[in-house]
Homo-oligomer: A and B are copies of this chain.
Amino acid sequence: MNRTDRTQLRRLPKRGFHDSATINQILDAGFLAHVGFQVDGQPFVIPTLYGRDGEKLYLHGSAASRMLGELSQGVPACVTVTLVDGLVLARSAFHHSMNYRSVVVFGTARKLEYETQKRSALRVVSEHLIRGRWDDVREPNSKELKATSVLEFQIEEATAKVRQGPPLDDEEDYSLSMWAGIVPLKLTAGNPAADSRLAPGTALPSYLADFSDKH
């Protein structure tokens, strides 16, 4: 991963990270990305699931998707993943903040053309989301693969930003009597709800019983 002006953090450099370990940890903890690209002078930001394999991200969707169609032209794109960890409540309005981890990735995408490539990329996305699921379900057939666009997004540059910890107030404000602290936030998984048409006797698979909250 390179580092140019577009990933140079201008403010609060203490919050910024350019190392792959930090970046990959955040990418692997998330599953929802916001993808940015521009068409005819108009920026678009579209939410989408993703998976990571090394320095590649995989995105997928309908073959009719505008986003995937535009991205597959190889236009410059930006993929951002944000994990929200908490609200930071300071004594002054000014020092309120959010605890979060985010990664901004720059790169370009190409469309995967071969069934085997598409299948293995879709597996990456699926396993990224719920490990163990892919081997349990009916795999996509040729018709379904044709109806699915799969993009390989090469990470050219990436930068992470992380804010953790308590509020940091001006020294003279610590004597003020309002409450300050953190409201933790976390994306949590509830109990799986079985489909009403489940085949009789179908048990919840262990990879779902163990499914820990991802965020």
Contacts and interface: CB of A to CB of B under 8 A. Distances in A.
B137 A90 contact: yes
A130 to B, nearest CB: 7
B42 A106 contact: yes
A183 B189 contact: yes
7 interchain residue pairs of minimum CB distance: A184-B190, A36-B45, A34-B34, A36-B36, A45-B80, A36-B43, A47-B82
- Number of copies of this kind of chain in the complex: 2
Interface in A193-215: 193-199, 201-205, 208, 211, 213, 215
Contact of A177 (B175, B180, B202): B202
Contacts of A148: 94
Q: Chain A binding site: helix, strand, loop or mixed by DSSP? A: mixed
Given A6-B42, A47-B80, A47-B100, A188 B189 contact: no
Contacts of A197: 174, 180
Contact of A198 (B102, B133, B181, B191): B181
A92 interface: yes
